[in-house]
Amino acid sequence: MDSLSAVSEELAEIDGQIADIFRALSNGFQKLDKIKDVNRQSRQLEELTGKMRECKRLIKEFDREVKAMERRTNANTHRMLSEKKQSM
């Protein structure tokens, strides 16, 4: 994330939020396997769905920021940002 924060603090912030949500999703799906009660499973799935929506919104925001910066960055920086977006 250091190279990302050198390009834009806002992009680094968004990237950090996305990484946090991915960790929460991973943990949530692991917990889901252990839940026996159908109602609790349903609530857990609703919570995970909300996290996925938030993550999608953040990825779109990241993409908008990258596109806004496109003209101001060099080819190497642009390539790094594109690779980062693809890894999401």
- Token pair of 72, please? 């101001």
For residue 71, what pLDDT is reported? 77
What pTM was estimated for this model as a whole? 0.81
For residue 67, what pLDDT is reported? 86
- Token pair of 84, please? 């980062």
Contacts of residue 31, defined as CB under 8 A and 6 or more positions apart, other chains included, come to 44
For residue 70, what pLDDT is reported? 78
Residue-level pLDDT, tens digit, the chain, 88 residues: 467 777 788 999 999 999 999 999 999 999 998 999 999 999 999 999 999 999 999 999 999 988 888 777 777 887 888 788 788 7
